[in-house]
Each structure stands twice: as C-alpha cells, then as structure tokens.
Structure 1
Amino acid sequence: MKRIFRYNITEKDVGKTIETFLLEHEYTPTCIKSLKKAESLITVNGVWEFVNKKLKENDILETVFVDEESSENVPSVEMSLDIVYEDEDILVLNKPANLPIHPTKGYEYTNLANGVVDYYEKQGIPFVFRSVNRIDKNTTGLVIIAKNMLSGSILGESMRNREIHRTYLAVTEGELPEKGTVDLPIGRREGSAVERCIDENGAKAVTHFERLYYANGYSLAQIRLETGRTHQIRLHMRAIGHPLPADELYNPKFDVIERHALHSWKLEFPHPITKKILRFEQEMPEDMKNIFKK
C-alpha cells in the first residue's frame, strides 16, 4: 500500500523545520522515523531533504508511506467482505459472527485480517493490517481498518482521546432498567488467559446503557462505551444481573441464539486526514432480531 501526502507551505509555516511541521500535522515520532529510512520518502519541491531543513513559502512538501510487504503471519485467504466505506486512508467493514479480527490459535486462516490482506493482494497491493477498534470474535458489526501508518497512528490517538464514539446493540436477559451507567473496574481472571472479571484493582471501565425494547423476557439495549476494556459490555451487563444470552464465557445459555448477542451498531469519528466527521450505522443482524419475533 502506497500513500502520498502533499502540503503547500504558506506564510504561517515559513521557517519551520520539516520535522516541526510534520509533528504539528499529527505525525508521530514513529511515523517520522519510518520516513527517514529511505531517500525519496520526504521531499521538498521534488528533492529529498533531511527533516531539519527549514521550509519556505510556496514549497511543496511530500511524504510517502509505503508498505512493501503484507503483514507477517497473516496468510491471504479469500473471503467475502461486507465493505461499508473505503477511501485512501480507511476501510470500514461489517464483521460477521464467528470471525476473529486477528489470527488466534485455531483461527490462523479464518480471521478478518486474512480476508483484508487477500482483498488487496488481488489488486496487487501489499497490505499491513491495522485494526483501529477491536471487537470480539462473536460480536458483529462495524470495524475500522487504517490503510497506512499515518492514518493508523492518528486514529489510535483518536481512540485514546475518546474521539471515536462507539454505540452497540445488546440483548440482555430480563427487563433492563430504562437507563443507567455501570462503573466497575475490570481485570484478568487469575489462571485464565482469556477471561476477565470485575476487579477492584483492575482498569477503570464505564458503560452507559439505555433500554430500547423489552419482550419475551429479553431487553434490547443501546450501549455506549466510555472506556474500551476487553469483554466490558458482557461483564458489566452480567454484573447488574442482566447477562447477554449465549455468552460462552460468562452466561452459556444457548436457547435463543448461538452466540453472545452483541452488535457494533454505530461509529462516529473524525476522518484521520480530512477531519470530516464520519458516521456509520449497521442494522442489527437477524439472529438478534429473532429473539423478539414471537
């Protein structure tokens, strides 16, 4: 994957070094270091320059990010991708259930990264897989993939600054309160590499919920994350007495659905390069709808 960024230097940036200018445009030190590895990745008016060069008015500064090879240990595997949006910098996908985002034990050839790498290899483009928001194997819905190092680093910072707003739909057992907030810390369960638990010594975790619908002994909830801990929604809903059905770790009851009933429904965030606010929404899948169809 190759991405070129071009900047027309105006009066306000005259006298700044290339490095200062790039840092002001959200380039991380890691991004700048990668650009310094080879000639031609940073040029001014078509000429390669060191990052300590001072800029003049009307200069044309270009940076080039190139991934020469695809992600290591991510085999290319053909699969159907549900592409919601794509441009030069990001890819937004609707992920199905039973598909991890990254390779894990037992899923080395059946994960979202396999399919994305294959999608670009078929276009003759090496691709490094950079997932921005991560959802569990059996959680469905919207996932953001960064297509280059710069968009990945900026979106990573946006995630840390809570500028990527994530809204989920979850089915819970019983009649959930009309609305509320769960503020309970989460840590690893001792002796398990996978399970988490409510732990007073764990990381802060805050979940806001609102009941949208109640029928057949189940509630449909809109859930907004203030933090993004592993298994946060699943643990917080169980902690208040309303676990998700078919949660293989925390509530293994599979009578109404075959996987935990959680869907990444909405995403809203500033585009990493243009800063335009992007909004995406993905309809709840049929297996969750079917719980209420009686």
Structure 2
Amino acid sequence: MNLVSFQWIVPKEWEGAFLREFLREDKQISRKLLKEIKFQGHLSLNDQSVTVKSVIKEGDCVCVRLPVEQVSEVLKPLQYELDIIYEDKHILIINKPPYLPTIPSREDSDYSLANAVVNYYEKQRIPGTFHAVNRLDRNTSGLVLIAKHRYAHDLFVKQLKHTLQRTYLAVVHGRLTPPSGTVRAPIARKTTSIIERMVSPDGKDAITHYHTLDASDKATLVDVQLETGRTHQIRVHFHYLGHSLVGDDLYGGETSKFPRQALHAKRVTFVHPFTSEEMMFEAPISDDMATLIREQIDDRSLLNDC
C-alpha cells in the first residue's frame, strides 16, 4: 500500500518556530488532522521522530506521513469502468455519466460514483476513502474533482471561494433574455420538501454567472459559471428567471424531449494544492445532450466546441 507522505525544507522565515506552527500556518494542516498524524501517522524532523512542540530551524527536513483512512463499512466497492480525465497521487478527476449518483442513497446504497471510486482505490492499493470536492446531481453529467486524501480535500475547500472555478453547459427552455448576466438570489430549502430548493430572502447567498452560446425560439444553450455552490443552484436560478432547464421536472422543465435535466459540468480550473500549478480540465458532453442541442438549437459547429 502506497502511504501518502510529504517532505518540506524549513525556510529562513520559520527559524525558531514550533513545528506545530509551521504545519498549521504554512502548510495549512488542520488541528484535527495534525492530531491524527500524531497518533496514527508519523512526524519526523531530520529523520528523527519528534512532537509538534519541537523547535525548527532553517534547512531542517520535515517529513509527515498521513494516517491510513478507513473506508466506511456501508460504502461497498462497485465494479464500474471510470472515465478518468486526470490522476496523480493527490487528485482524481472523473467524467461522471448521467444517471450515476455521486454518493449512495438510502434507496440504493451500493450504486454511486463513491462506490466505484472505493473499488478503484482497492484495486490500485490507494489508502484513501471518497472525498468529493464538488458533487453533481444524479442526472447531471461531467467533471467531479476528487481528493485522494483528507489533506488535499481540506486545501481544495479553501480554494472554493477563490481560485477553484466550475463551468457548466445547460440547455434551458425558450430564448434567454438578457442573453448574459448574473443571478444574485439567495437559496433556501423549500419548507414542504426535503429535496427541493427555492429562491428566498431567508436563504444562503447564491451567485450564478451565465452567457448565451446559441439560441433558438425553442431553447438556449448557455455557459454557466458558479461563484457559490448551493444545492441545485443552477436549476433553481434558471427556474427563477423563468427559463427552467430542459428535462428538469423538479423545477418546471419539460421532459418529453429529454428525460433528465440538461446540465453538464464542462470545465474545472484550479491551482494544484501541492505543486501550485494552474490546471484546467474539460469533458465533452454526453451523446444524449449533444442530440438535444442539435434538435432544439441545430448548431452543429458549436457542438464541436462542447
């Protein structure tokens, strides 16, 4: 099993500090994770086992080995062929097909992307459990960014409001007006439902930017970028605009032409939490959504860019 470890050389500005301060402030290791490293992982300074109270100096070599993460007994491995867009020892990016839930439900606890990833980890001897940085609804296709360990997940969560950008393609009913804009409308849970959300002054801030790529009188193909990540945000905001997503029967969409919400997570852009490299990945739309665009908007040249 390939255990996850990190090695850093102490820079001059941390001369004389406690190791705990260096790991918490400079390396952004949470207090809880640092405690788990202490009891279940390993911490060394210049190849000697130490505690977080050790004083460090410039040029010291700090080594941290993360504890092995336990997979929940209820998360059973699922044999499933994953469409892996990118992978390194910290990150896994999957192009999720429609109709596959991101996480298991009470009704179907054995069928989800999480189950499939756990199975993949088991076969590859990766010592981790499922840490989704972003989640997609069951019927939404596209990119899911997964952290292979909790440290990476913690660092990605810090990026969500700053450098991590998520771009979607959606097909909405009618010709969208204005063709581009920003929706700033707070979202709350609908009081009569445990699933449905609604725009409400009592909700949490939600900001969606959109730009029309092409349109007909039947439908509009729109590029959407999230500034916040509320549950069902895109679906709720376009319903609020009076242009529900095609196929989204929960929020007023018509399903006769398309049996699911026409939504695809096309692009993710972020700064790698360990290499500081700016990274961007894209996933092509699924065949059913490509057919919908041809039938409702009929712009084949645009499909080549999707």
The TM-score with structure 2 as length reference comes to 0.91
CA distance in 2, matches of 1:229, 1:6: 36
CA distance in 2, matches of 1:191, 1:102: 24
Letter in 2 for 1:27: I
Identify the residue that residue 67 of structure 1 maps to in structure 2: 68
Letter in 2 for 1:246: G
CA distance in 2, matches of 1:252, 1:246: 5
2:47 pairs with 1:46? yes
2:172 pairs with 1:172? yes
Structure 1 runs (4+) greater than 6 angstroms displaced: none
2:50 pairs with 1:27? no
Instruction: Classify the secondary structure of the residue corresponding to 2:224.
Output: strand
Q: Which runs of 5+ in 2 are unaligned?
A: 296-306
Q: Could you say if the C-alpha distance between residues 272 and 72 of structure 1 is closer, same or farther in structure 2, counting changes exceeding 3 Å?
A: farther
CA distance in 2, matches of 1:69, 1:126: 8
CA distance in 2, matches of 1:57, 1:163: 30
2:302 pairs with 1:290? no
Contact 1:14 1:57 in 2 (8 A): yes
State the percentage of identical aligned residues: 36
Q: Which shifted more, 64-73 or 49-58?
A: 64-73
Identify the residue that residue 257 of structure 1 maps to in structure 2: 258
CA distance in 2, matches of 1:142, 1:78: 20
2:277 pairs with 1:267? no
The aligned runs of 1:233-252 (5 Å cut-off) are: 233-252=234-253
Instruction: Classify the secondary structure of the residue corresponding to 1:37.
Output: helix
Q: Which shifted more, 95-104 or 8-17?
A: 8-17
Instruction: Give the Å deviation of 1:257.
Output: 1.3
Contact 1:70 1:126 in 2 (8 A): no
The aligned runs of 1:1-294 (5 Å cut-off) are: 2-23=3-24, 24-38=26-40, 41-159=42-160, 161-177=161-177, 178-215=179-216, 217-294=218-295
CA distance in 2, matches of 1:153, 1:284: 29
Instruction: Give the Å deviation of 1:71.
Output: 3.4
The TM-score with structure 1 as length reference comes to 0.95
Contact 1:71 1:129 in 2 (8 A): no
